Amino acid sequence: MTIEMTDIVKTYGMNSVEVQALRRVSLSVAKNEYVAIMGPSGSGKSTLMNIIGCLDPPTSGSYSLEGEDVSTMKEDQLAEVRNQKIGFVFQTFNLIARSNVFHNVELPLIYKGVSVAKRRKIAEEALEAVGLADRMKHKPPELSGGERQRVAIARALVNKPSLLLADEPTGNLDSTTGSEIMSLLDDLHADGNTIILVTHEPEMARHAHRIIRLKDGVIESDTASSARAKRTA
């Protein structure tokens, strides 16, 4: 199993008003699965994604990623896990605006300690894969939203993560650009990547094989996506 979560609880605002964003969520995701997480606003989707991505520690519960217990890890160990096992794609792209596209993409490799020559090769390949090889010297503000999101995807992929997490990756894009990004994710899934996607739109969720619905911090349903089965048939 890539992900094994048991009884994950996340509580915000410890002293004053407590918000239980997640209440005893248990979840397993296997290698090369394509999972969509859906649910109304405030249901805890992002909270769950951040815990899966080791950005935020759970209040309680256990979580192992590729057989490694990450719920007890220290911050620097978690940084290493994020660097080498997880690729993030955010709704707001989260690129460093004053660095050019190439530097944004090579950054995870810098933190991993990869040599300059290797970095150049890997980052160029990743940009090639998302069709932006010719925009390397541009800065993020000079790119369109779709292009920025493709840079973010290239960045997420350079360390060959075991898990690609995308929290509403098309949320800031128009529908045409959105579907381009979705077909890019489809390709990545076909290449063997494990993908977890948060989305509001059923249209997007249909790309996944499995749909998990959250409501008020608990899993309401966890089903195989029939739509996709139909479409691929």
Ligand X SMILES: Nc1ncnc2c1ncn2[C@@H]1O[C@H](COP(=O)(O)OP(=O)(O)OP(=O)(O)O)[C@@H](O)[C@H]1O
- What string of H, E and C letters represents the secondary structure of 5-42? EEEEEEEECCCCCCEEEEEEEEEEECCCCEEEEECCCC
CB 107 within 8 A of CB 151: no
Residue 41 binds which entry of Mg ion, other proteins, ligand X, none, CB below 5-8 Å type-dependent = ligand X
Least distance from C-beta 65 to other proteins, angstroms?
A: 14
Measured from the CB atom, the residue of 12 and 118 that comes closer to ligand X is 12
Q: Is 168 left (phi over 0), alpha (psi -120 to 50) or beta?
A: left
Least distance from C-beta 42 to Mg ion, angstroms?
A: 8
Q: Return the SS3 of 68.
A: strand
Contacts with Mg ion by CB under 5 A lie at 46
Contacts with other proteins by CB under 8 A lie at 50, 53, 55-56, 75-76, 78-80, 82-84, 88, 94-96, 98-99, 107-108, 110-113, 155, 159
Q: What are the tokens at 219?
A: 């899993």
Rounded to the nearest 5 degrees, what angle is found at the Cα of 115, between the Cα atoms of 129 and 122? Answer: 5
Least distance from C-beta 13 to ligand X, angstroms?
A: 5
Residue 143 binds which entry of Mg ion, ligand X, other proteins, none, CB below 5-8 Å type-dependent = none
Least distance from C-beta 93 to ligand X, angstroms?
A: 16
